[in-house]
Amino acid sequence: MPSRSAQGGWPIRSEIARPLDRRRFLGGLGAVAALGLGPGRLAAGASEVRFGLTPVFLSSDIELLTQLRTYLSAALDRPVTLVMRRTYQEITALLLSGQLDAAWICGYPYIQYRERLSLLAVPVWRGRPLYQSYLIVDRAGEARDIAALRGQIHAFSDPDSNSGHLVTQAALAEQGETAAGFFRKTFFTYSHRNVVRAVASGLAESGSVDGYVWEVMSEIEPDLTGRTRVLWKSEWLGFPPIACAKALGETALAAAIRRALATMGADPAGRDVLDMLRLDGFTAGEPALFEGIARNYDLVRALG
């Protein structure tokens, strides 16, 4: 399909909180406001595609977001709006209510609402559609195992994050512990990068973070991650997927989104997006990829 530029093709729009610093590849996402990134009006008869991004999405970099919208608009041959919210719960609610056509969510909400969601694609990182959760501590700290974190202040990313919350809860549940009883205090940063910042600055003594994000940050912001140390890594789990509401799963639009993601690596603009994300591409994926997350979910629920 011929590529459409942001200047001459579909207008590319985004809903984000504030102007973003393009020098900073990693960052948190905020509440919603409108930012026009392309000229003109929606083409007559062209239905807009609303694509959601939770804070599990790696970056708030303006260049990356612009390139992602440009690629999706060209591949789908219709205008695309990226919709972002501060929390996973907000994006999940929009997806389930049909206010989004698709969204890049986390494996935890996917498992929570698996009867109401259809899997569209799963990112491939370092050759596999998998990632890990990391428990991180201050680089100079003495902790050598999870038991040493008892009584500490611990940073989580989001209540509905797998790597930034659920995995640590499950690791503690296996020992008959809860986060509230094990840690002296916990708080949510609503960004994996902010978990790293909290530990690096001493605001938290330990934190739960997406291993993919920590590894990419280690390439881009080594001075920041260098002030932390990975204490523990989880098992390999299904990478945060792209999903849609079950009712939309068999539509032509869902098929087009699947195709656009699957062929991203074959398109120069798509390849640029993947390179910025440090991803190999996207695969169709199977619900079985998320069985480990489902086990953790059931384990934590059983403990109450």
What pLDDT was estimated at residue 60? 54
Q: Same structural domain for residues 244 and 124?
A: yes
Q: Could you tell me if 197 and 171 lie in one domain?
A: yes
- CATH of residue 200's domain is 3.40.190.10
Q: How many domains does the chain have?
A: 2
pTM of the model: 0.85
How many of the other CB atoms lie within 10 Å of CB of 224? 17
Residues 6+ apart with CB under 8 A from 228: 136, 137, 138, 139, 196, 199, 200, 207, 214
Q: List, in order, residues 6 or more apart from 194 with CB less than 8 Å away.
A: 28, 155, 157
> 166 and 178 share a domain?
yes
What is the pLDDT at residue 58?
Answer: 53
Residue-wise pLDDT for 166-210, tens only, equals 999 999 999 999 999 999 999 999 999 999 999 999 999 999 999
| Low-confidence residues of the chain: pLDDT under 50 | 1-45
Residues 73-115 have pLDDT tens digits of 999 999 999 999 989 999 999 999 999 999 999 999 999 999 9
Regarding whether 147 and 125 lie in a shared domain, the answer is: no
Q: Which two tokens stand for residue 208?
A: 């739960």
221 lies in the same domain as 279: no
Separation of alpha carbons 218 and 134, rounded Å: 13
Strands (E), the chain: 13-15, 34-36, 49-53, 80-84, 102-104, 117-124, 130-131, 133-138, 153-156, 185-188, 206-210, 228-233, 237-238, 242-245, 281-283
123 and 144 part of one domain: no
Q: 104 with 246, same domain? A: yes
Contact 136, 201 (CB under 8 A): no
Together in a domain, 95 and 230: no
Residue 301 included in any domain: no
Average pLDDT of the chain is: 86
What contacts 78, CB < 8 A, 6 or more positions away? 10, 43, 46, 47, 48, 49
Q: How many CA atoms lie within 13 A of 259 on its CB side?
A: 12
Domain with 85 in it? 13-129+239-290
3-state secondary structure of 133: strand
